[in-house]
């Protein structure tokens, strides 16, 4: 059963869904057997380690194609120079700084060591044209020189047991001048416990803001599994680890897609809705049986409406790799960006994989935006490129070193 908990840990009634307990691109996923990972883990570099097996060995739905213009890629990164950052959520707000971005990870130090922010933290940037960006650096300071030593987070870990290590995967909606964010949060690492593949408790938190910089967190998670505690007991068949949220507002309803762990199916796509206030206790309810996900093998989901259809982007396993791909690289290179389409946000058809950039071994953690520029309507896809192998050191680096964008023309 899924329930909600308040900030003090007292169990409360939570509609069938408002519980979910996963967190995403931040939870430290463990390093597992390369043979087990088989091109299907998302390393949520949280502490010092690495990756989680998403459980699926490849796509479960036959690949389809759609008649769409080709993606236009820009090699110049939007942001760079950092240690490990990704999930660039971009929102159009108008005004002088027409576009705002929230992204997360490690700015100038591995795991943000010594900064007092927990491990992953959420940062903020702004742009007039989607090309040149500057990053918030505290108070009224902004950095346009790509010097991450100056950058300061707008959201980081708190003292609550389910929110005290990783904060990341921001998804932001602006309505009537107010900012609403759903984000992934985790407990600190726990001892290995059956049913908890990330070795922490994961959930989806919420926050609100008047300026996109100063945030107030919700009093409890938006999605958390009611039975989870700071010291969980073994539950090998547990469904949970709700994380990597995608927040949307449509027709007076909050829509919250997310990914979560289903034993035997891996990391899957789910959907919850809330027709009340964003911060309402027990506000979000699942729109499907959690044992029957909308899509299996669909980590890091992003959803955007283009005309009358929903388009989803993720970075699932199943991308063809050369037979001589080294074992430490296979789990990453075998996962690439992929698109799916839906008329209702529930029933999805997967399309072809999107090839990685020619100078990057893997592109992951997509975010999308539809906007008008240069006299046309564009679907922008923002993503992070992985470092991969560096000359002379003999190992594959999972860190993300650049945030980029590609775009294609669409009919509104």
Residue 412 and residue 410: Cα distance in Å, rounded? Answer: 6
The vertex-224 CA angle with 174 and 279, nearest 5°, equals: 35
Maximum alpha-carbon separation in the chain: 57
pLDDT score, position 68? 85
Residue 21 and residue 261: Cα distance in Å, rounded? Answer: 9
Residue 122: how many other CB atoms lie within 10 Å: 26
pLDDT score, position 28? 34
Q: Enter the tokens of residue 269.
A: 């796509």
pLDDT score, position 67? 79
Q: What is the pTM of this model?
A: 0.87
Residue 102 and residue 88: Cα distance in Å, rounded? Answer: 6
pLDDT score, position 269? 98
Smallest Cα–Cα separation from 169: which of 92, 255, 256, 261? 256
Model pLDDT for residues 102-148, shown as the tens digit of each residue:
999 999 999 999 999 999 999 999 999 999 999 999 999 999 999 99
Cα–Cα separations (whole angstroms), residue 126 to 171, 374, 400: 15, 19, 20
Domains delineated in the chain: 4-409 (2.115.10.20)
Stretches in the chain below the pLDDT threshold 50? 1-63
Model pLDDT for residues 358-393, shown as the tens digit of each residue:
999 999 999 999 999 999 999 999 999 999 999 888
Assess contact for 268 and 262: CB atoms under 8 A: yes
Assess contact for 349 and 330: CB atoms under 8 A: no
Residue 292: how many other CB atoms lie within 10 Å: 11
Q: Enter the tokens of residue 25.
A: 């691109």
Residue 104 and residue 23: Cα distance in Å, rounded? Answer: 13
pLDDT score, position 412? 80
Count of positions (residues) in the chain: 412
Can you tell me which residue has the tokens 């308040």? 6
DSSP calls for 247-308: EEEETTEEEEEEEEEETTTEEEEEEEEESS-TT-TT--EESS-TTS-SEES--S-EEEEETT
Assess contact for 383 and 367: CB atoms under 8 A: yes
Residue 107 and residue 266: Cα distance in Å, rounded? Answer: 30
Assess contact for 225 and 20: CB atoms under 8 A: yes
CA 353 to chain centre: 18
- Buried-exposed string 132-166: b where 16+ CB fall within 10 A, e elsewhere: ebbbbbeeeebbeeeebebbbbbbbbeebbbbbbb
pLDDT score, position 8? 32
- Name the pairing type of β-strands 133-136 and 202-209: unpaired
């Amino acid at each position: 059963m899924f329930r909600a908990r308040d900030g003090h840990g007292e169990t409360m009634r939570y509609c069938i869904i408002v519980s979910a307990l996963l967190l995403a691109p931040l939870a430290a996923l463990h390093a597992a057997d390369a043979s087990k990972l088989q091109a299907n883990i998302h390393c949520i570099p949280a502490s010092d380690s690495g990756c989680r097996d998403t459980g699926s060995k490849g796509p479960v739905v036959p690949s389809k194609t759609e008649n769409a213009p080709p993606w236009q890629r820009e090699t110049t990164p939007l942001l760079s120079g950092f240690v490990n950052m990704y999930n660039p959520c971009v929102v159009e707000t108008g005004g002088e700084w027409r576009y705002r971005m929230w992204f997360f990870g490690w700015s100038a130090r591995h795991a943000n060591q010594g900064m007092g922010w927990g491990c992953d933290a959420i940062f903020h940037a702004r742009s007039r044209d989607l090309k040149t960006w500057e990053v918030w650096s505290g108070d009224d300071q902004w950095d346009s020189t790509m010097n991450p030593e100056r950058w300061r987070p707008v959201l980081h870990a708190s003292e609550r047991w389910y929110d005290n290590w990783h904060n990341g995967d921001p998804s932001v909606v602006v309505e009537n001048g107010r900012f609403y964010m759903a984000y992934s949060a985790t407990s600190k690492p726990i001892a290995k416990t059956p049913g908890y593949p990330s070795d922490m408790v994961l959930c989806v938190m919420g926050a609100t803001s008047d300026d996109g910089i100063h945030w107030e967190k919700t009093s409890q998670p938006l999605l958390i599994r009611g039975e989870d505690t700071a010291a969980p007991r073994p539950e090998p068949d547990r469904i949970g680890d709700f994380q990597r949220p995608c927040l949307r507002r449509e027709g007076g309803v909050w829509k919250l897609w997310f990914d979560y762990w289903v034993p035997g199916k891996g990391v899957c796509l789910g959907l919850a809705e809330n027709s009340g206030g964003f911060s309402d206790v027990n506000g979000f309810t699942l729109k499907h049986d959690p044992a029957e996900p909308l899509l299996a093998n669909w980590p890091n989901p992003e959803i955007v409406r283009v005309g009358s259809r929903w388009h989803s982007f993720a970075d699932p396993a199943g991308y063809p790799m050369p037979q001589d791909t080294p074992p430490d690289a296979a789990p990453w290179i075998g996962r690439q960006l992929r698109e799916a389409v839906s008329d209702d946000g529930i029933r999805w058809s997967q399309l072809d994989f999107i090839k990685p950039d020619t100078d990057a071994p893997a592109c992951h953690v997509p975010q999308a935006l539809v906007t008008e520029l240069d006299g046309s309507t564009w679907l922008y896809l923002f993503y992070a490129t992985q470092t991969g192998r560096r000359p002379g050191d003999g190992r594959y680096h999972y860190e993300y070193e650049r945030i980029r964008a590609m775009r294609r023309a669409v009919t509104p």
